[in-house]
Amino acid sequence: MQYLKEEVKKAIVKSAIKEFKEKSYTKASMRSIAKNAGVTVGNIYRYFDNKDDLFNFIVDPVWNDLERVMFEHYTMSADLFPITEIITSVMDIYKRSNNELFILFQNSAGSKYGNFKERLIGLIEKRIKGEYLPILKENNRNLDDKFIFYIISNAIVDSVYIIMKECDDDFKRAESLIKQTITIFFNDLAKRI
């Protein structure tokens, strides 16, 4: 019986992240991943069933973390979305997994995450609606068109992506820009919509 070695698996994953980031999911080659990891293609299949399995192994944890962050309990402060807590959690994910986030945003077409942006927008939209609809109802305000929550969510996702792309691994700058952007979107939002 042959035992799987953790360092071999790590080399494969590191090579795959580089390949998926540079070439995308659809253009990534298991042969190239193997070559750059210093293993045979057959050896990759001892660790992963196929390219999908390898890709999902890399990005599933990031998606799961984002999903968890969107629905963790954060307390609204006055009329402000729970910015600080959410940004801190998202920045932790970004610092830990900025390459994987880039892959999800930019290079996941053809995988089960090909609609990553829409899925992320949906998570944010659901959270914003959950926070703001009760506030509006409590203040006897009727929102004419709830599609505004989708528009805001889309703008947030686009903004965060642009910031991540611009800042790469300059996490301090990225966090500052994300905080400023989110504050602009949410400061007194319940009064503005």
The fold adopted by the segment(s) 1-48 is Arc Repressor Mutant, subunit A (1.10.10)
Positive/negative CA dihedral, 90, 71, 133, 80: negative
Residue 100, token pair as written in the block? 């994987």
pTM: 0.86
> Looking at the predicted structure, is the pLDDT value of residue 179 above 90?
no
What is the band of 63 on the pLDDT scale with cuts at 50, 70, 90? very high
How many other C-beta atoms lie within 10 A of the C-beta of residue 140?
Answer: 6
> Looking at the predicted structure, is the pLDDT value of residue 10 above 50?
yes
Domain boundaries, the chain: 1-48, 52-192
Distance CA 85, CA 92 (A): 11
> Which pairs from 170-173 meet CB under 8 Å and 24+ separation?
171/91, 171/94, 171/95
Distance CA 72, CA 88 (A): 12
What is the band of 81 on the pLDDT scale with cuts at 50, 70, 90? low
Output the pLDDT for position 2. Answer: 55
Output the pLDDT for position 1. Answer: 42
What mean pLDDT do residues 63-78 have?
Answer: 76
What is the number of alpha carbons within 13 Å of residue 20 lying toward its C-beta? Answer: 30
Distance CA 161, CA 130 (A): 23
Distance CA 121, CA 14 (A): 28
Distance CA 160, CA 179 (A): 10
